[in-house]
Amino acid sequence: MVEIMGTIWLSFFTLSWISGMTFLNLSIRKKYHSKGITNLNSNLAKVGLFWSNRNANFLSLEEGDPEKDFQSVKGSFLLMTTILSILSGIGFILLILMMFTGRPRREVRTFQSDLVKNPDLSLAEVEAQVAELKNIY
């Protein structure tokens, strides 16, 4: 009986890690190097900001940079994957739910805005859109 339970736990643990690493490589890395995030950060750089996926918010370039933000998100994701993998079956379900649900309104609206679609916005247009998006909670 103990061998069966151990095998089931190890199967869920392995499945959690495989799905977590697949999500990290196919989704998170892709998002950080996508045309949309590149356009967004180039527009935000005009006003001294960048988009932080860790905080789902605008941060000043003095507070950090996009590469540090990516490393932070990656580290947090690996920690959560480890913790939820240890929890086995329930953790696997929570990991899947965490990966595919729950995006803040500000993040959704930001990625639907012209900041992402148009890399050639003027400084005034960028400032106006950032001010509008900062008011979304």
The structural domains of the chain, with segments of one domain joined by +, span 2-134
User: Residue 21's pLDDT is what?
Assistant: 85
Q: Does residue 23 carry a pLDDT above 80?
A: yes
Report the percent of the chain where pLDDT is more than 70: 99
Instruction: Tell which phi-psi region holds residue 12, choosing left (phi > 0), alpha (psi between -120 and 50) or beta.
Output: alpha
Nearest of 104, 110, 135 to residue 51 by alpha carbon: 110
User: Residue 52's pLDDT is what?
Assistant: 87
How confident is the prediction for the chain on average, in pLDDT?
Answer: 84
- Burial of residue 22 (number of CB atoms within 10 Å: 0-12, 13-18, 19+): exposed
pLDDT digits (tens, 9 = 90+) for 45-63: 999 999 888 888 898 887 6
Q: Does residue 76 carry a pLDDT above 80?
A: yes
User: How is residue 90 written in tokens?
Assistant: 């329930």
User: Residue 47's pLDDT is what?
Assistant: 92
Higher pLDDT, 13 or 102: 13
